[in-house]
Every structure is written in structure tokens, then in C-alpha cells.
Structure 1
Amino acid sequence: MLIDAHCHLDFPDFDADREAVIERARAAGVAQFIVPGTTRRRWPAVLSLGARDDVSVCLGLHPYFMEEHAEGDIEALAQALEANPQSVAVGECGIDARFGDTLDAQWRLFDAQLRIAKARKLPVVVHCVRANDPVAKRLRQLDLPAGGLVHAFAGSPEQAGKFLDLGFVVGLGGAVTFDRAKRLQRAVQSLPDDGYVLETDSPDMPLAGHQGERNEPARVAEVCRVVAGLRGQGSEAVAANSTATARRLFRL
């Protein structure tokens, strides 16, 4: 059994065929989906999906959508988490250093969400692009009791180790399937069996050979096969390990 530990099934990309997408995932062995929130406007759609037995949800404010966030969203997030205790984490939140013009605002928003997670003893789902070292430093300073997931990890073995030491796990997705991703593949080989989860980031983060296509949760099975090959393990063992880690992290 597989869990897609990070997929945006609430996005409009799936409005035309969401049930068919879920059925294809089930046929590929994916039995559960973790759907993170990205903006306050999208939380109702995320929570609606969370009514399904096979979907668990997170609520957060994503750094990619800074122009959509407004004053009051942090207070609204705290209230939404209080009103929806089924939420398994705070996120997706984090830092995307590709956008230097909003970086200061990103850090303020990220820090506020980390403090909510600490107060509620929830894990965090972290979006971290070109910022592994400063994000790890901030996580160490705050000492979050429930750890979290560094989603779409693309760093070095050393950076992965820093996150693991902080009680976090890393998310492995489409990036590991590209031949050029040598550093990331070395990191995958270095991870302990309980140090990662598998994900797709659907509809984004396409796998090698599927560039330009909409990604979907069924392809977490292909990510599993690639990770198994890199680690010299069977796909069943990788699936079992990643599923156990997702269950532990999100208290499923």
C-alpha cells in the first residue's frame, strides 16, 4: 500500500476528472492522500476533500502565493485549525528563495505558522526552495515538538541529515527520477528507512518522461520504483517504510 504524502487534489486542474484520478491512483496501489492547503481561499475545498475516508488534510499559507495572502490570514489559520481538529498538519508553508522581492514577507509568514504549529503540537509541511540551510537553522531555533515534512526535498545528503536530526522527514517525488539529479539521488541512498515519505505534488513536479504533463497521484508508484532502485531495496519494502513513516508523522 502507498500513501501520496503531498498532492493538491483540490486544485482546479482536477475539477473535470477528480474521481477518475483517484481511481487510477487506487489501481496503482495508492490508498491514501495527504492534501495540503495553500491559501485561505482554498481551505474550504481542501476541507471538503478531507471528508473522504482516504484523504487527510493540512491547512496553511504557501509562499508561492504571497499576493493572495492578506492581513488576518494568520489569525484565520489559527481559528480554522481550532475548528477543524481533523487537520493533520500546518502547511503548506515555507520559503521559496526564487522570489527575492517577497522574501522578508515570506519569512514573517513562515515564522507565524511555525509558532502556530508549535502551540498546537502539530507537524509542519515545509516548502523549501533554495533555502535548506536557513530553514533548517530556523527550525532548530524553534524546536518544534511534532517535527514535520520537508516536502519535495532536493538537497544534499548533509542537508537531509540536518532535517532528520531535527525530527523531520523528507519528501521524495518526481525530482528523484531525473538522471541529472545526482546529488539528490545520493541523499536518497543515505536516508534511513524511516527518514522519507513518497509524494507527487500533483498536479506539479512531473516525473522524468512526463515533462509538460499534469502529474497525478498514481505516479507515486513510479517514484517508489525509482527510490527502491536507488536504495537497492524492493518496491514493497520502500512502500511499507514510506507508508509507516507517513502514518507516524501525520498520526493517521
Structure 2
Amino acid sequence: MALFDSHCHFDFDAFAADRAQVWARCQALGMQGLIIPGVSIPQWRNLFALVHSEPGWFGAVGVHPWWVAELALAPSDVGRAVIERVTHERKRGAGPSRCIAVGECGLDANIDTPLAQQLPVFEAQLCAAQELSLPVIVHCVRCHGEVQRVLKNIRPQKGGVIHAFSGSREIAEEYIKLGFTLGVGGTITYQRAAKTRKTLAEVPLDKLLLESDAPDMPHAGRQGERNSPEYLPAVAQTLAELRGIPVDTVIAQTGNNARALFGI
């Protein structure tokens, strides 16, 4: 079974002490790859140093909404910085680039940084993705309407993924119409997430990706613990049960979806 974790912050300090051991356990479970998203400009250098240390790891270049307040650059300069880093990674080494997306970027209504400050940074990264012909990893918390309006105005030709999707069937279908897939993570392990569980049981399987969001997004029964990519099989199993299909089908299709979206 070719598990693929489409969103894992494996470069974070939470994994500094045992990253190699965690990855070994992931491989033993059948995981063949994971994507490490960008969150801030100072992080990108170390992120790609880590990515190039393992053949199954890939990276993205982005500024996460939580880090927007720390920016010393104008939004247009953020877009240029994204393009420059991606271009640098594309020239690195003899094989295909290990930089496969722009993101994690988007909008978050749960933080102190005003949406008006987040918005131009998000738009600049979408424009960079258009210029680079790369998919986008989108962070959206409590602002689906705003994010969908932006994506209708600046629509990356390669689409992307709505990370940690949570919402109704109608919201999901609107993203799919815009050319986006939906990231499925630990949220579906909670019985109380009834609306999201119902939505992800019904939308086409070829529009879904599995993701851990480790070390965040702990599963039901693991609250307060570090989340880990090695727990991704539990997400796959839950999704299979919700859809009434074999878990092998979920793993195979979502893995194929990730590789097709990100050109891996």
C-alpha cells in the first residue's frame, strides 16, 4: 500500500529528536512520500535542506497566515521571493525539482492578524503559482466565502488542495468546480465532526488527499499528544469506513491523486 502524506510539517522542532525513527516507522507502514509545506521565508532554506536528505520527501514554498504579521516584505515582494526560491530549487540537482507547490498560504479568521493584511499576501502567492505553473496548498479557517472569491479572481491553472477541509457538501463542490482537491486529516476521526464526515463520505474519491498535518491535528483519543505521519493509516481507515469501501482502495486512490496533482 503506497501511503502518501500530502501535508506534514516534518521540519518542525517537534520531530527534531526522532525524525529518522518516525520516518522508519512510516515506511514500515507502507508510506512512500510526504510533502513539507512552507510557512515562512526564513524557514525555506532549512526545509529544502531536509527535503533533499530523503528521496520520498518533497517541499512547497509559502507564507502561512500565522506568519504574515512577521513579514518585513511588501506583498508583491513576497510573490517575488516565492518565485526566486522555486526557481532556485528547480535549478538544483540533475533530477526533477523537489519543490512541487506554492503554500501553505491562505486566510485564517481565528488569528489576530486582520484578513485585510492577510489577503494581499495570499493573492501575491496565487499570482506566483500562476507564473510558476504550480498547484497551491491553501489554508482556510472560517472564511470559505472569502477564499472562494479570491480563487475565482486568481485561479491557478494547476489547481491545488484545500488543506484540512472542514465544511458542507456545497462548499466542497464549489472548491472542486474551481479545480481543487480536499485534504482529509484527523478531523474525521471525531464523531462530532458530523458535517465534514458526511461530506467526505460523499464527494468523489478522486478529489481527496490524505494528510496528517503533523505535529498538529491530533486524532480522537490522542488529544494533547504530538500528531505524527505514522498515524495516517487511521485517517485512511476512517475514510474507508465512512465510504463503505476497502481501505486499500482509499490508500491507492488518494496516493495517485497526490502524485497527479503535484507532478510526482
Task: Give the Cα separation in 1 of the matches to 2:128 and 2:79.
Answer: 9
Aligned residue for 1:93? 105
Q: Deviations over 1:138-188 (max 9, x none)?
A: 112222200001000011111110111111000000101100000001111
3-state SS, counterpart of residue 84 of structure 1: helix
Match 2:164 to one of 143, 152, 160: 152
Task: Give the Cα separation in 1 of the matches to 2:176 and 2:153.
Answer: 15
3-state SS, counterpart of residue 194 of structure 1: helix
Aligned residue for 2:68? 66
Task: Give the Cα separation in 2 of the matches to 1:131 and 1:150.
Answer: 12
Which runs of 4 or more aligned residues in structure 1 lie more than 4 Å from their structure 2 counterparts after TM superposition?
none
| Code of the aligned partner of 1:83 | H
Task: Give the Cα separation in 1 of the matches to 2:70 and 2:79.
Answer: 13
| Code of the aligned partner of 2:28 | A
Q: By how many angstroms is 1:240 displaced?
A: 0.6
Conserved? CA contact 1:171–1:198, under 8 Å: yes
Aligned residue for 1:127? 139
Conserved? CA contact 1:160–1:187, under 8 Å: yes
Conserved? CA contact 1:25–1:217, under 8 Å: yes
Counterparts of residues 1-252 of structure 1 (less than 5 Å)? 1-51=2-52, 52-71=54-73, 72-85=77-90, 86=97, 87-99=99-111, 101-252=113-264
| Code of the aligned partner of 1:63 | P
TM-score computed with the length of structure 1 as normaliser? 0.97
Q: Deviations over 1:181-210 (max 9, x none)?
A: 000011111210201000000000001011
| Code of the aligned partner of 2:85 | A
| Code of the aligned partner of 1:55 | W
Q: By how many angstroms is 1:235 displaced?
A: 0.4
| Code of the aligned partner of 1:80 | R
Identity of aligned residues (%): 38
| Code of the aligned partner of 1:28 | L
Conserved? CA contact 1:29–1:221, under 8 Å: no
Conserved? CA contact 2:68–2:121, under 8 Å: no
3-state SS, counterpart of residue 20 of structure 1: helix
3-state SS, counterpart of residue 122 of structure 1: coil
Conserved? CA contact 1:3–1:31, under 8 Å: yes
TM-score computed with the length of structure 2 as normaliser? 0.93
Q: Which runs of 5+ in 1 are unaligned?
A: none
| Code of the aligned partner of 1:168 | F
Aligned residue for 2:94? none
Number of aligned residues: 252
Task: Give the Cα separation in 1 of the matches to 2:11 and 2:247.
Answer: 28
Task: Give the Cα separation in 2 of the matches to 1:41 and 1:100.
Answer: 21
Q: By how many angstroms is 1:75 displaced?
A: 2.5
